[in-house]
Homo-oligomer: A and B are copies of this chain.
Amino acid sequence: MNVQAESLKLDKDLAYKLVESLTVEVGPRLAGTEADMRSVVWAERQFQQLGFDKVWREPFDMLYWERGQANLTVAAPFNQSLVVTALGGSVGTPFDGISSQVVMFNTLEELTQASTADVKDRIVFINHALEKDIRGGFYGQVVGGRARGAVEAAKLGAKAIIIRSVGSSNNRFAHTGQMRYEEGVERIPAAAISVPDAQQLSKMLAINPELTLSLQMSNNLPGTVTSHNVIAEITGSKRPDEIVLISAHLDSWDEGTGALDDGAGVGIVMATAALLKQEKPERTIRVVLFGNEEGGLIGARAYAARHHQQLAKHVFASESDFGAGRVWRFDTGMGEQALGFARELQKKLTPLGIAMGPNTASGGPDVSILKAQGVPVASLMQDGTDYFDYHHTPNDTLDKIDPTALKQNLEAWLIMTREIANSQVNLRL
């Protein structure tokens, strides 16, 4: 893409053009890869072409993880392959794979209550379904199996763990996502199967509880590499030292092109600041495109550490990282005195169909790190009903973005950012 600053005016398609350019020209951009580096160069070039006053990158160290092949087969008499993907951070299996009987649990909690006798030397299967919800409200209940399943299974002697994807679609895609190990607990391979495959496997187990699976994965963890946060500013015309931080994450999982997660957010916040430049906002608008959100908010933690002294001058922070659905609610996470200002702001959002929400916003995954250090936040809550249909799958591609809904997001971000950037209110109070 080649958007020139002069041609911008009020181009409400700018967010879409940016996510299109990112997903087509860079594509998948797993943190630490060559594609991640291309996305950093892409972001710097876009910021420059959009006429930002300052553009820079901030490096940080991260553990690099590389996906290999993944195969999961059901032994005789059923002899078939299941659709599987490695969870991010997982070790591989021995070259010949791991073959073992399966033991199924409905939830992570059920696994933690099992006995070693039930689990030892088996492949654990957590078959926890994710229900749909506008806020993705059930994700938190289900994602524990992905994040902590390997540790709990290993404590009971399991050889490997597979989970039903943390996804709400019956399309046959496995959903990846980060998993964790724990010091002192054996590191066993962890993978996800698609929702139809989880249903298939549970039907097979009902027929033959002695069923054997073979899992073969060739992931690598080659060590530490450097990634980057990319940062750009529109310098404030009156109070340049006061920072209004708007953000998204630049990295994505490697199987889709990261359109919903989080190309949409990248497009929204870059476009917001670019379009506000001509209005000469009073406070500085800083756009942060965080690196390696997916690996565990690694870029956000690096940002918070590096800017520790400056956080008092961060008057506000927010992140767009929940796909491209319409904004339906304005949630805040600020001081009680600031809520009057927030309600006035929300009135300006009303024509877009955005209601006032509670004062419990996290601000977004990366921004939650700043909130924990006292930075006031808000969240323009997006309709996430379908978000977990696509989240972390090969199916997260540009065509899943509704340009009209993305435009509504941009309009909401313009209002929120403008009001805060031109105000003198202290949102901490």
Chain A residues close to B by CB (< 8 Å): 20, 23-28, 34-35, 38, 77-81, 83, 170-173, 195-196, 199-200, 203-204, 207, 256-257, 393-395, 397-400
Q: Which of B24, B80, B398 contacts A35 (CB 8 A)?
A: B80
* Cβ-closest 10 pairs across A and B: A27-B80, A196-B397, A172-B395, A24-B203, A170-B399, A196-B399, A172-B394, A171-B171, A171-B395, A172-B397
Q: How far is the CB of A202 from chain B (nearest CB, A)?
A: 10
- In the assembled complex, which residues on chain B have CB atoms less than 8 Å from the CB atom of A400? 170
Copy total for this chain = 2
Q: A170-B399, A172-B395, A207-B24 are in contact. Are A38 and B79 (CB under 8 A)?
A: yes
Q: How far is the CB of A170 from chain B (nearest CB, A)?
A: 5
Q: Do B38 and A397 have beta carbons less than 8 Å apart?
A: no
Q: A25-B207, A171-B171 are in contact. Are A397 and B79 (CB under 8 A)?
A: no
Give the distance in Å from the alpha carbon of A257 to the alpha carbon of B194 in the complex: 14
Give the distance in Å from the alpha carbon of A195 to the alpha carbon of B399 in the complex: 10
Q: Do B257 and A24 have beta carbons less than 8 Å apart?
A: no
- In the assembled complex, which residues on chain B have CB atoms less than 8 Å from the CB atom of A27? 78-80
With both beta carbons as reference points, the residue of chain B lying nearest to A35 in the complex is identified as: B79
Q: Do A25 and B78 have beta carbons less than 8 Å apart?
A: yes
Q: A27-B80, A78-B27, A80-B28 are in contact. Are A20 and B203 (CB under 8 A)?
A: yes
Q: Do B399 and A199 have beta carbons less than 8 Å apart?
A: yes
Q: Do A24 and B78 have beta carbons less than 8 Å apart?
A: yes
With both beta carbons as reference points, the residue of chain B lying nearest to A172 in the complex is identified as: B395
